[in-house]
Amino acid sequence: MSFPSDFLWGGAIAANQSEGAYQSDNKGLSLVDILPSGQHRIEALHHPRKALNTTYDYYPSHEAIDFYHHYPEDIKLLAEMGFKVFRTSISWARIFPKGDETTPNEEGLRFYDQLFDECLKYNMELLITINHFDTPLYLVEHYGGWRNRKLIDFYLHYAETILERYKHKVKYWLTFNEINMMLHLPFFGGGLILEEDEDHNQVKYQAAHHQLVASSLAIQSGRTINPDFEFGCMLAAGEIYPYRPHPSDVLKAQQENYEQYMFIDVQAKGVYPWFTERLFQDKNVQLSMEKGDEQILQENTVDFISFSYYSSRLTSADPEILQNETHGNAFSTLKNPHLNASEWGWQIDPTGLRITMNSLYDRYEKPLFIVENGLGAKDSINENGTIEDNERISYMRDHLVQIEKAINDGIPVIGYTSWGCIDIVSAGTGEMKKRYGFIYVDRDNQGGGSGQRIRKKSFYWYQEVIRSNGEFK
C-alpha cells in the first residue's frame, strides 16, 4: 500500500500573503494591511493598538507577490508540477470591503471566478479557506473584531455569498485557518486588540466561541447550497512532548495537547470536551452562550480534519526548565536536543508529523488533510541561474515518508498541500526571504525586485513526486 490513487497532491497559499493589489477593485483594508515587516511586525502582532497608530515605511501585504495580476502565469507553473489541488483563501475585504455591507463587491467576486476557472482549466480541485488571518479592518476598529457576536452574522453572510457563488467550482472548504491561533496571536486569529485592563482569556475564548458558532452555521448553509461540499476544520497542529520522562512533565504535555485540540473537538465532535469546565474555572472564563448555540455546534460538524504541521513542541512542569522556552514564534517551546532547527528556530521533526497524525485520527476518526507543511529558508540564485534548495527537498521528503507510513498504518489521508508552494510573504515576520516555495519570486524584504518567477530544484523534484504518486521521494 502507498498513497491512494486519488490522493490530492498540491500546495497552499493565502490571499493576504500573495495577492497584493490591496486596494484594487474596491477592496477594503484587512487587518494585515496595517502590519509592517521584520521585528516591527512581531511587535505589532503583540501590540496591535500601537500598530494602528503608527505609520511604517513598508507594508508587505500591499503588493506581496502581486498574485492578483500574475495568477495565470503562476497557476500555469503549478499545473506544470502536476498539482491536483490548490489551496488559497478568499479575501473577505475584497467581497465585503468593510465587512458589514449587505451587497457584495462584484469586482472582488469576479476575481475569484477568474482565478478558480484558471485552476479548473488544469483540472485542479480547489481547497478554499474562507478566513485566513484577514478580518476586514473596519470590523476590527468598529466592532472590536470577533469579541463581538455580530461578527457571526457578517461572516455568515460573507460565507453564504461565496459558497453560493462558487458552488460549482469549489469542493473543499475550510471555515477558519488555524482556529487555535486565537489563543496565540489573537489579532491574526480574531482581529482582537486586547487592552491591558481586560481579562485576555475571557475575550479570547468568547471570540473563539463566536467563530465556532459561525463555522457551524456556514457548514449548515453550505450543505443546503451544495450537498457535495466537503468541510474541514483547520488546526495549527504539532504534538507537545514532555521535556523529561517525569510524570509531571508527561501530564503537562498531555493537558496542553488536550487544550490545543479543544476547538477541533467542538468542530469535529460537536461538543465542548469533558475538561472544558475545569479549564474555564482555572482560567476564570465565563463563556456566554445563546440559546441554540449548542445545537448548532452539535448538528454541523466537519467532514475532515485539516491541519498545518511544521514542528513538534516541548514543555515541562518545572518552572526553572521552562525559563528556557523560546517565545519568538506564535508557539513557545523548549529546545529539543534531538532535533535540528531551521534558521528561524522552527525545530524539524518528521516523526512528529506521524505522531500528530496518530493523535488526530485516534481522537476524531475522520479523514486527515495536511494543508500546510514546509521549510521556511533562504534561497540563493547560483551563477548559472539555478536554485538548489536541497534542504527543502529533504525536509519535504522526510515528512512525506512519515505520511506514507501513517497511511500504511491505516489512517485515511485526503491530500497534502505544501505551504507557500510559490514564494510569498511570511505571515509571522512579513519577510520575503523566509521562502517556502518550489517557485522563486524575485522580491526582497523591502518590496524591491523584478517579480520574476524561477523554478527551483524542488520544483522538478515535486513534479516527479506527483507524477509517481509518491513512489519517488
Q: Which of 74, 178, 239, 303 binds ligand BG6 (CB under 6 A)?
A: 178
Q: How far apart are CA 210 and CA 152, in angstroms?
A: 6
Nearest distance from residue 426's CB to ligand BG6, in Å? 4
Q: Which of 367, 428, 447, 451 binds ligand BG6 (CB under 6 A)?
A: 428
Q: How far apart are CA 439 and CA 401, in angstroms?
A: 23
Contacts 24+ apart (CB under 8 A), 425-428: 425/17, 425/18, 425/37, 425/60, 425/61, 425/64, 425/65, 426/17, 426/376, 427/14, 427/17, 427/133, 427/188, 428/41, 428/42, 428/45, 428/329, 428/330
Nearest distance from residue 310's CB to ligand BG6, in Å? 7
Q: Which of 305, 427, 432, 465 binds ligand BG6 (CB under 6 A)?
A: 427
Nearer to ligand BG6, 17 or 316 (CB): 17
Catalytic (active-site) positions: 372
- Select from 30-38, 316-324, 404-412, 421-429 the region that touches ligand BG6 (CB under 6 A): 421-429
Q: Which of 183, 192, 236, 422 binds ligand BG6 (CB under 6 A)?
A: 236
Chain residues 239-298 in contact with ligand BG6, contact rule CB under 6 A: none
Note whether 387 binds ligand BG6 by CB under 6 A.
no
Nearest distance from residue 428's CB to ligand BG6, in Å? 3
Nearer to ligand BG6, 30 or 300 (CB): 30
Nearest distance from residue 394's CB to ligand BG6, in Å? 18
The answer to whether 77 touches 439, Cβ cutoff 8 Å, is yes
Nearer to ligand BG6, 305 or 317 (CB): 305
Instruction: Please state, in angstroms and as integers, the Cα–Cα distance from residue 314 to each residue in 97, 230, 302, 363, 397, following that order.
Output: 41, 33, 29, 21, 24
Query: Which residue number is nearest to ligand BG6 in terms of Cβ?
Result: 428
- Select from 97-105, 214-222, 225-233, 419-427 the region that touches ligand BG6 (CB under 6 A): 419-427
- Select from 3-11, 53-61, 390-398, 428-436 the region that touches ligand BG6 (CB under 6 A): 428-436
Q: Which of 426, 438, 453, 459 binds ligand BG6 (CB under 6 A)?
A: 426
Note whether 353 binds ligand BG6 by CB under 6 A.
no
Nearer to ligand BG6, 135 or 300 (CB): 135
Q: How many CA atoms lie within 13 A of 120 on its CB side?
A: 11
Could you tell me which residues are beta bridge partners of residue 413? Answer: 368
Give the count of residues interacting with ligand BG6 (CB under 6 A). Answer: 14
- Select from 162-170, 262-270, 350-358, 420-428 the region that touches ligand BG6 (CB under 6 A): 420-428
Nearer to ligand BG6, 407 or 439 (CB): 439
Nearest distance from residue 292's CB to ligand BG6, in Å? 31
Nearer to ligand BG6, 236 or 296 (CB): 236
For residue 356, give the nearest of 311, 407, 412 by alpha carbon: 311
For residue 430, give the nearest of 453, 418, 446 by alpha carbon: 446
Nearest distance from residue 74's CB to ligand BG6, in Å? 17
Q: How far apart are CA 152 and CA 217, in angstroms?
A: 9
Note whether 177 binds ligand BG6 by CB under 6 A.
yes
Q: Which of 20, 376, 415, 470 binds ligand BG6 (CB under 6 A)?
A: 376
Q: Which of 257, 308, 311, 402 binds ligand BG6 (CB under 6 A)?
A: 308
Nearer to ligand BG6, 177 or 347 (CB): 177
- Calculate the dihedral angle through the C-alpha atoms of 69, 71, 72, 78, rounding to the nearest 10 degrees: 160
- 15-44 footprint of ligand BG6 as x/- string (CB under 6 A): --x---------------------------
Chain residues 431-470 in contact with ligand BG6, contact rule CB under 6 A: 434
Nearer to ligand BG6, 51 or 317 (CB): 51
Give the type of residue at 256: E
Note whether 372 binds ligand BG6 by CB under 6 A.
yes
Where does this chain bind ligand BG6 (CB under 6 A)? Answer: 14, 17, 177-178, 236, 308, 372, 376, 419, 426-429, 434
